[in-house]
Amino acid sequence: MLRLGRREFGEHEPVIMAIVNRTPDSFYDQGATFADEPALMRVERAVAEGAAIIDVGGVKAGPGEEVSAEEEVRRTAGFVAEVRRRFPEVVISVDTWRHEVGEAVCAAGADLINDAWGGVDPRLAEVAGRYGVGIVCTHAGGARPRTRPHRVAYEDVMADILRVTTALAERAVSLGVPRESVLIDPGHDFGKNTRHSLEATRRLPEMAATGWPVLVSLSNKDFVGETLDRPVKERLLGTLATTAVSAWLGAQVYRVHEVAETRQILDMVASIAGWREPAVARRGLA
């Protein structure tokens, strides 16, 4: 059982985490939701399309202009409070690696900390434990925040992913994070080249076998683009294919830009697996 905020999710219940970038320089939307009203409209649409989690980010993952902790708080904390007011049932996540930001957004009503840089600030998990909120424990290969991988190598990439993410998860529980509110993430693209991310995907059953719920952040990423030789705006089909495979192999939570399309993919896989009834079943019955 996965428990986040006011929500509980069953073992085979796929969960969509919709991305809302509060940045002017996002690699995908180039600042489309930097202002409050477009961002709130994005939240409303994502929830209507089937997202259970809204993931708010105040700093883009890649290199770029320096963003202080104070500026990151300004971009996220007030927005979290407003989303909490308007959508009391939605799970609010914040994508940050800084404990100062974690403190501010948890005080504002966040339910989940998405630590995409793999515990680079160990105090962030302490904040999650103190507030009793969930945390995503990610493998980033030891990379510093907002850096790109350079000649990165692993003897066994999945062995490293398992070692790092499970250790982070157990530490989070020891600090007070509820066990049922901890997720692990292989960290596609983070501290990895394209072949590493592809291998991590096909070996997802090894992560699922740990018992920790698995989150995958696949949406329009570079490993999809390099695999198919497609620019950012032409990666949807590759992303959805990877999503379907990941769902079949045991992932549960999906961090995405395109909610409606992902919902259909996950519902179809769940029905093929026998975990979901068809929405309509008339064929051959009349």
Active site residue 60: no
Choose, from 255, 263, 276, 283, the residue flagged as catalytic.
255
Q: Are 55 and 28 in contact (CB under 8 A)?
A: no
**Interatomic CA distance for residues 208 and 153, integer angstroms:** 24
Active site residue 233: no
Tell me the residue type at 13. Answer: E
**Interatomic CA distance for residues 244 and 259, integer angstroms:** 14
Q: Can you say whether the dihedral through the CA atoms of 64, 68, 73, 74 is positive or negative?
A: negative
**Interatomic CA distance for residues 110 and 81, integer angstroms:** 8
Token pair, residue 42, equals 């994005």
Choose, from 42, 75, 221, 235, the residue flagged as catalytic.
221
- CA geometry: angle 210, 169, 259, nearest 5 deg: 80
Which CA distances in Å does 125 have to 29, 75, 77, 173, 184?
29, 21, 18, 9, 13
Long-range contacts of 248-251 (CB under 8 A, 24+ apart): 248/273, 249/201, 249/202, 249/204, 249/205, 249/208, 250/204, 250/205, 250/207, 250/208, 250/209, 250/214, 251/204, 251/207, 251/208, 251/214, 251/215, 251/216
- Hey, which residues are catalytic here? 221, 255
